[in-house]
Chains A and B, each alone.
Chain A
Amino acid sequence: MNFSREEHPYGTPAAARADLAGLRDEDLIVRVQEGERKAFDELAARYKNRLFSFILRMVKDPVLAEELTQETLIRVYIHAAKYREIARFSTWVFTIATNLVRNKMRQRSRRPLLLSLNPAPADDEMPLDPADPVADPSEEIQRRELASVINEATASIPEKYRIPFLLREVEQLSYEEIQQVTGLKLGTVRSRINRARNRFRQLVKPLLRDETLLEELEMIEARVAAEKDDPS
C-alpha cells in the first residue's frame, strides 16, 4: 500500500512521535490494543529505563535484568488486550515485572548450585557505552562506583522489604499502587517501606557523611536535570 506524505495515516514519522509523546500511558495502551505498534514503541521508550532500574536492583545481574526488562515489555505487547483502565498503566507494568522477578528469584533459590561459567560483569566492570554522551569519563567512572555501592546496599535488603521500597523510592508509585502490585495490605506496605528505609540508611550511612560524595551527588543531579531539559 502506498501512501503519499499527506495521505499517510500517521503523518510523517517525526509528527507521529510528537503526536504520541503528548499522550498518557493509558491512551497509548489503548492504541496498542488496536494494533498500533508505534504506540508500543513509545511506551517501551518511556518505561525501559524505569523497569531496568527496578529489576537490576532486584536481581543484581545486568544481563538478566535486561532480559527481564525485555520480557516485561513483550508481555505488555502480547497481553495488551488484558489491560483494563481500572488501574494505572504503571501499576500494571510493575505488577508484570514484579511477578517475573519473583519467579526468577524463586528459580534461582531452587537451583543455587548452577553457577554460570561466564558470570555477568559487575556494574563497574561493564565497558563504557560509547553512545553515552558523558564529557568526562572520570565522572562516569565515579558515578558507576557510586551506583555499584548503592546497588549492593539495595540488594542486601531482604526481598519482601525491597520490592515496596524500590517501587516507592525509585518508581514513585503511591502506597495504593504498591498495594495493588504486591497484593499486601496498606499497613504492611507502609511498615515495610519504613523498615527498608531504615535498613538502607544503616547500610549507606558512611556515604551520607562524606562531603565529597555529597558534592558529587549534586553534580550528578545537575547533569541529570540538564539532560532532562535538553535531551539532545
Chain B
Amino acid sequence: MRCNKARHFLSQAMDEQLPPAETRELDAHLDDCAACREYCSDLATGRRLLKSTAPALPDSFEWRLQIKLNQALRQSAGETAYPWQETESTGRRWVGPFTTSASLGLAAVLALAMFLAPYSQTPLPVSASGNLAAGDQVAANQVSDRLPLLGTQASPFSFSGPVQRSVSREGALRIGSQPRNFGLERAWSGNPLEDLMTIQNLRLRNQRLNNQLYQYQHQIRLLRARLDRADSNGLDLGE
C-alpha cells in the first residue's frame, strides 16, 4: 500500500468507517511506515486540540436568548417587538388606521351619532355615595352613551367609592374626588371634530404610556437578570 492511500484510509479508520479487510491492510502498512504512524498521531492530537479549545458562551447568553425569543414571538404574532424600537415603516402602522377610508367612515358615523344624540339639559343629581337618583337613571344612561371613556353609573369601568359627579350642559364630565384624572380635564365637547381629536389624542397618549410601560418592564428584566447573576456568582455589584 502507498502512503497516500494509507492516509486516506487512516481518516476513515479514525471514524470507524473502514471495512475490516482495508483495516488489516492499513495496520500492516503502519507497522512498516514511521511517517504514516506520525501522521496518525498528528491527526489524533489535532482532534484533541480542537475539542479541548472549544469556546463557551458567557452565562448571560441564556437570558439574552429569552429576551430575543420573546421579541421574535411577538414579531411572528404580528406585533412590534418593542414599540420604541420601531422602524420607520412599522411606525406608520400606528398612524395608518387613521388614514384608511374604512376608519374615516367609522369616525364619521361616530361623529354623526354623537351629533344626533339627545343632550341632557340639566346637571345630574348625584348622592353622597355616588349613586344616581332613580328618576334620573334614564338621563344618566343617555349621557353615559356619549361618555364611555371616564365611566358613569352604567359603565362597567366606573370608579368605586364616593365620587362627586356632575354633567354640564355641554356634556363635559367633572370628577370631584377622583384620585388622578390622568390629565383629562374634559371628555366630550359636543363638537364632533373636537371629539375626534380628543379620541386621537387619547390613543396617542395611550401608546406613549404603553411605550413607557414596555421600557420599564424591559429594564426590570435586565435588572433581575443582573441580580440573578450577582446572586449566583456571589459578586458585589458596587452600585
**Given known A208-B46, A217-B48, A221-B48, contact A129–B58 (CB-CB < 8 A):** yes
B49 touches A (CB below 8 Å): yes
| Chain B 56-68 near chain A by CB (<8 Å), digits 1 or 0 | 1111011011001
A44 touches B (CB below 8 Å): yes
Q: Complex formed: what's the CA distance from A202 to B61 in Å? A: 35
Report yes or no: A73 in contact with B55, Cβ–Cβ below 8 A.
Answer: no
| Chain A 195-211 near chain B by CB (<8 Å), digits 1 or 0 | 00110110011011000
B116 touches A (CB below 8 Å): no
Q: Complex formed: what's the CA distance from A199 to B58 in Å? A: 31
List chain A residues, Cβ under 8 A from B49: 146, 150, 204, 207, 217
Q: Within residues 32 to 49 of chain B, which ones have a CB less than 8 A from any CB in chain A? A: 39, 42-43, 45-49
Report yes or no: A154 in contact with B56, Cβ–Cβ below 8 A.
Answer: no
Q: Complex formed: what's the CA distance from A77 to B198 in Å? A: 43
Q: Within residues 61 to 77 of chain A, which ones have a CB less than 8 A from any CB in chain B? A: 62, 66, 69-70, 73-74, 77
Q: Complex formed: what's the CA distance from A168 to B50 in Å? A: 11
Q: How far is the CB of A49 from chain B (nearest CB, A)?
A: 5
Report yes or no: B57 in contact with A66, Cβ–Cβ below 8 A.
Answer: yes
B51 touches A (CB below 8 Å): yes
A169 touches B (CB below 8 Å): yes
Report yes or no: A70 in contact with B65, Cβ–Cβ below 8 A.
Answer: yes
List chain B residues, Cβ under 8 A from A220: 52-53
Q: Is the interface of A mostly helix, strand, loop or mixed?
A: helix
Report yes or no: A131 in contact with B58, Cβ–Cβ below 8 A.
Answer: yes
Chain B's interface size range is 35 or more
Binds A, one of B8-16, B107-115, B178-186, B213-221: B8-16
Nearest-CB residue, chain A, relative to B8:
A194
Report yes or no: B65 in contact with A73, Cβ–Cβ below 8 A.
Answer: yes
Q: Within residues 120 to 159 of chain A, which ones have a CB less than 8 A from any CB in chain B? A: 123, 129-131, 143, 146-147, 150-151, 154
Binds A, one of B69-77, B117-125, B140-148: B69-77
Report yes or no: A208 in contact with B47, Cβ–Cβ below 8 A.
Answer: no
Report yes or no: A44 in contact with B65, Cβ–Cβ below 8 A.
Answer: yes
**Given known A198-B7, A201-B39, contact A143–B65 (CB-CB < 8 A):** no
Contact of B68 among A53, A70, A169, A170 (CB under 8 A): A70
A224 touches B (CB below 8 Å): yes
Q: How far is the CB of B127 from chain A (nearest CB, A)?
A: 39
Nearest-CB residue, chain A, relative to B47:
A169
Q: Complex formed: what's the CA distance from A69 to B54 in Å? A: 15
B99 touches A (CB below 8 Å): no
List chain B residues, Cβ under 8 A from A102: none
B17 touches A (CB below 8 Å): yes
Residues of chain B having any CB pair with chain A under 8 Å: 7-8, 11-12, 15, 17, 39, 42-43, 45-59, 61-62, 64-65, 68-69, 72-73, 76, 229, 232-233, 235
Q: Could you name 7 residue pairs across A and B whose Cβ atoms are closer than 8 Å?
A: A41-B62, A49-B56, A49-B57, A53-B56, A131-B58, A150-B49, A169-B51
Q: A194-B11, A200-B50 are in contact. List 9 more A-B contacts (CB 8 A).
A: A48-B65, A74-B69, A78-B76, A129-B59, A190-B11, A197-B43, A207-B49, A208-B45, A224-B52
The 6 lowest CB-CB distance pairs between A and B, nearest first, are A147-B53, A194-B11, A53-B54, A220-B52, A131-B59, A150-B53
